[in-house]
Amino acid sequence: SDCLGNTFLDCIKRIPQLNREIVANYPKQFECLSQCKGKIEKIVFVASGSSYNSASVAKYFIENQCELEVDVIYPNVFSQQKTHKKSDTILYVFISQTGATRQVYDDVMDLQEKGYMVASITGDLESPIAKVSKNPIDMGCKHEEYKYRTIGVSTSILTCWLLGCYLSDFQDMDTLLAVNSQLDGIVEQALVWYENHKFDLMKRNVALFTGSYSLWPISVEADIKFMEMIPYLTKTYELEEFVHGPQNEFNNNELFFVASKKGFEDNKTEAISKFLKNEIGCCYMVGDITLDENDFKFECDEPYFYELKHLCFYQVIAYMLANDHGRDLKQGLNTQLTNYFNKTMQ
């Protein structure tokens, strides 16, 4: 198998270089959309799983900095809707790393036939979806050996951000490259942090995640990585929702991760974390708002793009926990599922 010799950690470590290549290639990968530049007012991302999370993270930057309206919607929900507006100001963007998700393929074909503005973002420009797409965009992840999407999530977020830049007049490659250059350090720091907290992390097998704004979808992505890789039972709530009922179930057999960023609901983030640490048990803050030496602290001064740092931490911890639980990430679990249901094209 092609993952021989390359651990999952090696894949995480490849992300910064691939990100640099995507930025170096800008704006070439979007030139198929040159006719839309300056005309688009709204992007509708249609995606599922990690691709959905990527677009949801990017939504905040595209709305606040690029001043474009953004919707993110699941393909099966999208295909049930009968109200898609056809307009020169709306771009429908379908994201699929494999480029072979059947539902997405069907939706792309359907909308293009009806004359909508459609683009695709895939990990392979030779894939079925990219080949039928009039505006195929490469997400820049190249070949990813493991099916637990990691490189593809980071490069999808980046590609969605850059799509927003391309369609608007906003650009700040310096900040983007500055954040990207910190990821190697986050990996090393996360490995040290993991060794120091391994006992508490391994003693439990349920993990709850929370965060606000763009750190909410980052938390959702962390949760699916923990669930499919380690595997732990996981759940994520938006920061405020976290204490609107779920707290009735909280107990010290669970891990709690609170993603933080100064300027984003600092008081609420601190208050909820204090409650979790003092009254429940094992809570770790991840970001630049921290309460004690157990938290994972890193500089987060950038106004945007910082999400890649939080994501990097969660990717490393998911891998280390999977590894220490003896999990072989080349093998799926409960793979009999494919005898019942297959989401990709045969």
Phi/psi at 130 (nearest 5 deg)? -65, -35
pLDDT at 46 over 50: yes
Q: How many CB atoms within 10 Å of residue 287?
A: 25
Q: What is the pLDDT of residues 3-26, one digit of tens each?
A: 556 899 999 999 999 999 999 999
Q: How confident is the model at residue 307 (pLDDT cuts 50, 70, 90)?
A: very high
CB 330 within 8 A of CB 148: no
pLDDT at 63 over 50: yes
What string of DSSP letters covers 203-246? H--EEEEEESTTHHHHHHHHHHHHHHHS--EEEEEETTGGGSSG
CB 93 within 8 A of CB 119: yes
- The C-alpha angle 288, 289, 293, rounded to 5 degrees, equals 90
CB 344 within 8 A of CB 100: yes
Peptide bond into 128 cis (omega under 30): no
Between 18-32, 53-67, 73-87, 231-245, the lowest mean confidence (pLDDT) is in 73-87
Q: How many CB atoms within 10 Å of residue 168?
A: 17
- The C-alpha angle 165, 47, 20, rounded to 5 degrees, equals 40
pLDDT at 162 over 50: yes
Instruction: Report the share of the chain in percent with pLDDT over 70.
Output: 98
Pairing between β-strand 254-260 and β-strand 233-238 as defined by DSSP bridges: unpaired
Where would I find the beta strands (DSSP E) of 109-196?
118-122, 136-138
pLDDT at 127: 96
Pick the closest to residue 116 from 138, 95, 93, 139 (CA basis).
93
Cα–Cα distance list, 91 to 47, 88, 118 (Å): 14, 8, 6
Pick the closest to residue 206 from 239, 190, 230, 240 (CA basis).
230
pLDDT at 82: 83
Mean pLDDT, rounded, of the chain: 95
Is this prediction's pTM over 0.85?
Answer: yes
pLDDT at 1: 39
pLDDT at 298 over 90: yes
CB 201 within 8 A of CB 321: yes
Range 75-91 average pLDDT: 91
What string of DSSP letters covers 293-317? TTSEE-----SSSTHHHHHHHHHHH
pLDDT at 5: 65
CA distance 235 to 183: 26
Pick the closest to residue 205 from 191, 186, 226 (CA basis).
226
- List the structure tokens of 15: 């992300």
pLDDT at 339: 87
Q: Which amino acid is at 29?
A: Q
